Structure 1
Amino acid sequence: MELPVLSNTFMRLPVPHESGPLTDDGLLLPLAKKRNPHPQCYCWSQLPSDLLQLVFDRLGFADFQRAKSVCSSWQSVSRNSQPNNQIPWMIRFPKGNDPDHNYCLLFNPEEKYNMYKTPKLGNDFSKSFCVATYRSWLLMQPQYEYMHDHQFNLYILHLLTGERINLPAFKTYYGLTCPILWIDEKTEDHLVIGMAGEDYAVSFKKGDKSWRQIPTLSGIEECFSMVFKDHKLYCLNYAKLKIFDFSGDTPLRVFKTSVSGCLHQPSIGVVMRLPGEIPGKDRRVAHFKNNVVVNLAGDVLIAECHRPCFSNIWEFKIHKMLGNNEWERVVSLGDEAILLDLGITVLAKDLLGIKSNSIYFSTAYSFFEDQYDKNEIFIFNLDSNKVELPHRFVSSSYPRSRSRWFLPSFKRE
C-alpha cells in the first residue's frame, strides 16, 4: 500500500489524507511507481549488489525505504544493509479518544515540509499513551480513566506495521514509572523494566508468564531516570547513580557513585498566582528534571534541566562522570546530539536534519495538569544556549497533542 505523502509548500499546508496509510513494506513509494520509457537504455535492477549496498549503507531511513521499493533486486540487497537510523523523527499522538483518529503523524527533519500518517493502530490506541520507545516500537500504557482497580494492561506496538505484543496485567497505584523498553527486531525478544512503586522495580521479558520484582535493584528508591544500553541499566536518583549488568540470568550491581556534589537539589517553594489567573489553570512552577545519558563512547552524562518559575525558558547543565564521586562540567557535546527521551547520544556530524551539540527533548507540565496530554518537543542548542522549535508551522497545523522524539527503524523480511 502506498503512503500519502503530505507534501506542501511553505505557503500552503495540506489537509491530512484519509486513505492509503503508511506501512513498513510500502513506505515512501514514489520511486517505485516511475516507469522507464526506454528499458533498452539501462536497467537499474542489474546494478552490482556490492555497489548498491555501499549506497544503501549511506542512506537515511526515509531514502532507504524509498530505494528498497524500486525493484525486487534492490529489496534483496537492502536485507543485508544497515541504513542510517541516527536522525530523530517527531511523532505526534492523537488528541482525545476518538477511535477514528487512532493514528500518529510523523515528521522527518530531513524533509522539512512533509508529514506522514501511520496506519490506524487499533481501538485501544487512542485510550492509551506512550511511556517509552525503542526504534519504531512503542510501549503503551492505558489512560487512568480506562482502568479498573488500578490494573495496568500494557502492550508493545510497532508503529509502522501495527504488530502488537500484549503484556500481562499487574496492579499498582501509579502505573509503570521510569519505563524502559528494549526489543530485538529480528527475534522480537523484548525486555520491559520500570518502577512499580517508589522502592521496587519490576521487569518482564519474552518467555515470562508474569511480571517479576527485581530484588537486586533494591536501594534505588525515588529513581527518576533510567537508561538501558548494551545490557546495562543506569539508575539515577537525587543521591546516587547505580549501574546494573543484565547480561546474565540475574541482574548484578556493578557500580555505585554519589551525584549529590554535582546536581542541584530542588526545594519546595511557594507558587504564586498572577493577577487574573484562574486557580489551578496554567500555573507555572519551577521545574527540575535530571536525566542520565550514555554517549557513544560509553561515558555517563547527567543532563540537569531547569525551568524557572513563571518562565518558558529551559536551562541545561551537563556533567560527565570521571570516576567514583568525581564529575566535571561539560560545555560541548562536539559532533554528537543528546536524545533526552532515550538517554543516548547520536553522531550528528555532516547529517542533514539533526544538529550537533544540541539536546532533543520533550517536556510536560505537572502530573495534576494531565502531563500526558500537554507536552511539547524542543531542541536546545548548546552553542547559542537557546531553545529552538522544530518547524512549528508544520506541527501546529494538525490536531495532535502529545509528541516526542524517536529513532525510526523497520522490520526486516
Structure 2
Amino acid sequence: MSIARLSDLADPALAPRLVIKVGSALLVGPDGVRRAWITQLVAEIAQARSRGQDVIVVSSGAIALGAATLGLEKGGRGSLADAQASAAVGQIALSGLWAELLGTHGITAAQMLLTLEDLEDRRRYLNVTATLTRLLDAGAVPVINENDSVATQEIRFGDNDRLAARVAQAAQASAVVLLSDIDGLYDRHPRLPGAKMIPVVEGVTAEVRAMASTDSNSGMGSGGMVSKLQAAEIAELAGICLVIGNGQHERPVARIVNDGIGTLFVPRRKAAARKAWLGGRLRLKGEIVVDDGAAAALGRGSSLLAKGITAVEGVFSRGDPVAIVDGEGKVLAHGLSEYDAAECAAIVGLHSSEQERVLGYSPRSSVIHRDQMVLK
C-alpha cells in the first residue's frame, strides 16, 4: 500500500516519516515572528509524533529574522553579503524558537544547517543520512535550513523547496509537505479567470510544468511554483510523495489532511537509492548532446555510446555528473561520465573500432553506463 490521498498523510503505516517545509512568509510577518501560528503547527507535529510518525522540519525564516534585527532593507536580500549576515543572526533566533516550542511538548529539537555540496557530494550525502537516522531514532525532531551564512550563489539551493525534497531522499521519508502561500497547483496562474486547482498529479510532465508560475505571492521567500515542481521531481525519483498546501491557516496540516485541500504529487516510479541521488542533483559539470537514435536507445535502457554523441559542452573529469540532452536541449538523463570532457569531444560520433586510434588506449564499453545513469 502507498499514499493515494491527502488523508493518508496521517496514517503511520502509509506515511511513517514526514518532511514538513515551512516558508519564510509563514514564520515571519510584518510585525515579526508569527508565534501563535508556529505554536499551532508545533502542536500538529506533536500529534503526528504521538501517532507514531517521524517528523523532519525544513524551516525558512533565518534571513528574514536576521534582517529585522539588523535593520537591513529588502528583507536581507539586497545583496549576498546582507543575506549571509542576516542568516548568521537570524538562525540563532530561529533554532531557539523551534527548540522552545517543541520543548513544550517534551520533544527535543536538533538543528542541522546544510549547503548544496552536503547533498551533492555522495559521501557527505550519506553522512547526512546517517545523522538524520540517528536523530530520529533518538526521538528528536531535526530542524533543517540552508546554511545561508556561508553559501554563495554558486553553491546554494536558492530555495527550501528543493532542499526539503533532497532531505526527504536522504532521510528515506514517505512524503514531503510544502507549506506555502497557495492552496496547491493550479492549471494556470491562480489569479486568472477560471483557474482550477489540481488535486492529484501523477508525475511531473511537460504539461504540468507549463502550469507553473515563478511568482511568490509574499515577496519574502525565494521559491515559486517552478521550484515546487522541481522538488516534486526530485522526490519522485525516490518514490516519495510531495504535497503543496496553504500554510496561511491555523493548523495548516489538518486543513490539508482532513479537508483534502492541496495538491498531491504521486510518484510514477522509484529509482534505486544511488540513482535517486544522482537524478536529484542540482549542479552538473557539463552536457553531452545526443542524436535521435541515441535518445531512443537510452529510453530502451541502453548505455550511452560515443557513436550517438553529437556535441560535448562544459569541463568535466571522469566520474563527474553530466546531463544528457537531445538536439533541442531537453534533458534526457543524468549520468556519471566514463571520460573527461576532452576525451568525449575527441570521440564524438566514432564507432568503438575507431576510438582506440584517437584515444591511444582501448575504449571503455560506454561513455555513460546505464548503471550510472538515471532517466529524467
| TM-score tier (shorter) | under 0.3
- What is the TM-score of this pair, normalised by structure 2? 0.26
- Normalized per residue, the structure richer in strand is 1
Higher relative contact order (CA 8 A, sep 6+): 2
Structure with the larger helix share: 2
